[in-house]
Chains A and B, each alone.
Chain A
Amino acid sequence: MAKQEHTTGSMRVQRGLAEMLKGGVIMDVVTPAQAKIAEDAGAVAVMALERVPADIRRDGGVARMSDPEMIEGIKAAVSIPVMAKARIGHFVEAQVLEALGVDFIDESEVLTPADEAHHIDKLKFTVPFVCGATNLGEALRRISEGAALIRSKGEAGTGNIVEAVRHLRSIIGDIRKITQADSAELFDWAKKLNAPLPLVQEIAETGWLQVPLFCAGGIATPADAALAMQLGAESVFVGSGIFKSDDPAPRAKAIVEATTHFRDAHIIAKVSRKLGAPMTGIAMDEINQRYAERGW
């Protein structure tokens, strides 16, 4: 067998970083100072952006990729991986983020979509991508486009975990059913999910997605994070939940501990004490724009 020389950007290398982030918390930050707080609290990575989802929701207008200067400031402030968001389908924003040397790109429904039919062809990139999904079909379409990590979408900027739970249950529930299906039924599953058959067959065989599955959208408390983990998420993204709360540093630390010890109710009880008020949050019937519906 010929010796394989130094190869960058392969699927294995991209998914490898996603594997290394398992069991951890990825926090949205808008300044280098917040990035330091996140790293100090034990975050495994930070998401650099100009406004957290709760503010995007409040301000309205078009939400775009962040200023490169701001992303670079955050990269300089911490040693953990730095992620940044590009608009759905905006492959030039993704090219810019790759040129900046970010460690992961989130092709995110929280920003205003740039393309109403196509997602970014992620197979063309060296940098790994994370994409949101509300169901298994959406997750598999993103994986077929080259996503190295899937996160359940939830409803960002609400501080309300209900949508994240719905999406996680839907994705993991269908995975469970597929592992029980016979080979003939898998064709129907591929049709129903609108997903490539080989990926469906692979799930039937391995019992899990091809890439790690994390949870995002609405996590505001240590118990929320542990709930996502017990439902089967392998890590959590916390957006507005930390820096929109009264006292971000202790809450960040508590969410990290609750994620690590997600099956241990005594530890979750201990770290949930005296954290001050969480972000206020919004019920689903109070919002007029569902970000989770963006993506195709």
Chain B
Amino acid sequence: MLERLGAPTREVRLPHDLEECDALVMPGGESTTMSKLLETSQLFDPIAKRIADGMPIFGTCAGMILLARDVLDGRDDQRSFDAIDIDVQRNAYGRQVDSFETDIVLQGHADLLHAVFIRAPRIVRMGSGVTALAEHQDSPVLVRSTNVMAASFHPELTDDDRVHRMFLDLVTTAHEK
């Protein structure tokens, strides 16, 4: 999707992959697995440092869990980056049989956004520096701060590119500074 919007992408599996990136997307998956692999691949500290230096980062679902300040129902040894001032609860919408798709209102857009939630995390607290860009069932599901965006759902599973565009705008703004 980002390639389609003109932004070259690459996979980051090891620390040296990160050096070539101006911004990072943390996709969906299992946050416990990702947290472990960040450690074994020695990526956790370099990414934490880049985030602290202002690198734009976008986390979806499990990626959002990794960016949160506090994780409810996570494993004790699960580390998160504390990159955005939100607390999230894992699998808060239920198990896979409760996973769902629905239309949501995207702030500043007249057309509804179709969003897919897979064993999704719920944002249970949001700090004052964080803006909600979309909500569902009274919880924010898409949020941003200065250099971080996070979504409970999976914009990578639908064809609508508006959420990815929002992130690229954030990247552009961050690099102009």
Is the Cβ of A45 less than 8 Å from the Cβ of B118? no
Is the Cβ of A5 less than 8 Å from the Cβ of B154? no
A10-B28 contact given A43-B33, A128-B96, CB 8 Å threshold: no
Using CB atoms, name the residue of chain B closest to A25.
B33
Is the Cβ of B33 less than 8 Å from the Cβ of A79? no
Using CB atoms, name the residue of chain B closest to A263.
B13
Is the Cβ of A3 less than 8 Å from the Cβ of B103? yes
A20-B30 contact given A12-B157, A79-B91, A261-B13, CB 8 Å threshold: yes
Which chain A residues border B99 with CB–CB below 8 Å?
A: 8, 13, 16-17
User: Which of A8, A39, A102, A128 is close to B32, meaning CB atoms less than 8 Å apart?
Assistant: A39
Could you give, for residues 138-168 of chain A, a 1 whenever the CB lies within 8 Å of some chain B CB and a 0 otherwise?
A: 0000000000000000000000000000000
Is the Cβ of A4 less than 8 Å from the Cβ of B13? no
User: Which of A10, A103, A260 is close to B96, meaning CB atoms less than 8 Å apart?
Assistant: A103
Size of the chain B interface, CB-CB below 8 angstroms: 35
Is the Cβ of A8 less than 8 Å from the Cβ of B116? no
Is the Cβ of B90 less than 8 Å from the Cβ of A8? no
Is the Cβ of A13 less than 8 Å from the Cβ of B29? no
Is the Cβ of B33 less than 8 Å from the Cβ of A13? no
Using CB atoms, name the residue of chain B closest to A257.
B40
Bound Cα distance from A103 to B157, whole angstroms: 19
A80-B102 contact given A17-B119, A20-B118, A257-B40, CB 8 Å threshold: no
Q: Is A256 an interface residue (CB 8 A)?
A: yes
Contacting B at CB under 8 A, from A230-254, are: 253
User: Which of A8, A19, A24, A257 is close to B97, meaning CB atoms less than 8 Å apart?
Assistant: A8
Bound Cα distance from A103 to B95, whole angstroms: 7
Which chain B residues border A10 with CB–CB below 8 Å?
A: 101
Could you give, for residues 90-105 of chain A, a 1 whenever the CB lies within 8 Å of some chain B CB and a 0 otherwise?
A: 0000000010011110
Q: Is B36 an interface residue (CB 8 A)?
A: yes
Q: Is B41 an interface residue (CB 8 A)?
A: yes
Bound Cα distance from A214 to B100, whole angstroms: 24
Which chain A residues border B100 with CB–CB below 8 Å?
A: 6-8, 13
Size of the chain A interface, CB-CB below 8 angstroms: 42
Is the Cβ of B36 less than 8 Å from the Cβ of A19? no
Bound Cα distance from A20 to B91, whole angstroms: 14
Whole-angstrom distance between the Cβ of A85 and the nearest chain B Cβ = 16
Which chain A residues border B98 with CB–CB below 8 Å?
A: 8
Is the Cβ of B29 less than 8 Å from the Cβ of A24? yes
Q: Is B148 an interface residue (CB 8 A)?
A: no
User: Which of B37, B41, B62, B101 is close to A4, meaning CB atoms less than 8 Å apart?
Assistant: B101
A9-B116 contact given A19-B28, A260-B13, CB 8 Å threshold: no
Residue of A21, A39, A41, A42 with highest tally of chain B CB at under 10 A: A42
Using CB atoms, name the residue of chain A closest to B104.
A3
Whole-angstrom distance between the Cβ of A9 and the nearest chain B Cβ = 7
Whole-angstrom distance between the Cβ of A230 and the nearest chain B Cβ = 14
Bound Cα distance from A104 to B157, whole angstroms: 19
User: Which of B37, B74, B101, B103 is close to A260, meaning CB atoms less than 8 Å apart?
Assistant: B37
A44-B101 contact given A3-B112, A13-B118, A17-B96, CB 8 Å threshold: no
Is the Cβ of A4 less than 8 Å from the Cβ of B33? no
Bound Cα distance from A42 to B40, whole angstroms: 10
Which chain A residues border B20 with CB–CB below 8 Å?
A: none
Bound Cα distance from A3 to B96, whole angstroms: 23
Q: Is A48 an interface residue (CB 8 A)?
A: no
Using CB atoms, name the residue of chain B closest to A253.
B40
Using CB atoms, name the residue of chain A closest to B90.
A79
Is the Cβ of B97 less than 8 Å from the Cβ of A98? yes
Contacting B at CB under 8 A, from A1-60, are: 1, 3-10, 12-13, 16-17, 19-24, 39, 41-45
Binding site for B on A (CB under 8 A): 1, 3-10, 12-13, 16-17, 19-24, 39, 41-45, 79-81, 98, 101-104, 126-128, 253, 256-257, 260-261, 264
Given contacts A43-B33, A128-B96, A260-B37, 7 further A-B contacts (CB under 8 A): A3-B103, A8-B100, A20-B61, A23-B29, A45-B30, A81-B96, A257-B40
Binding site for A on B (CB under 8 A): 13-14, 28-30, 32-33, 36-37, 40-41, 61-62, 73-75, 90-91, 95-103, 112, 114, 116-119, 154, 157
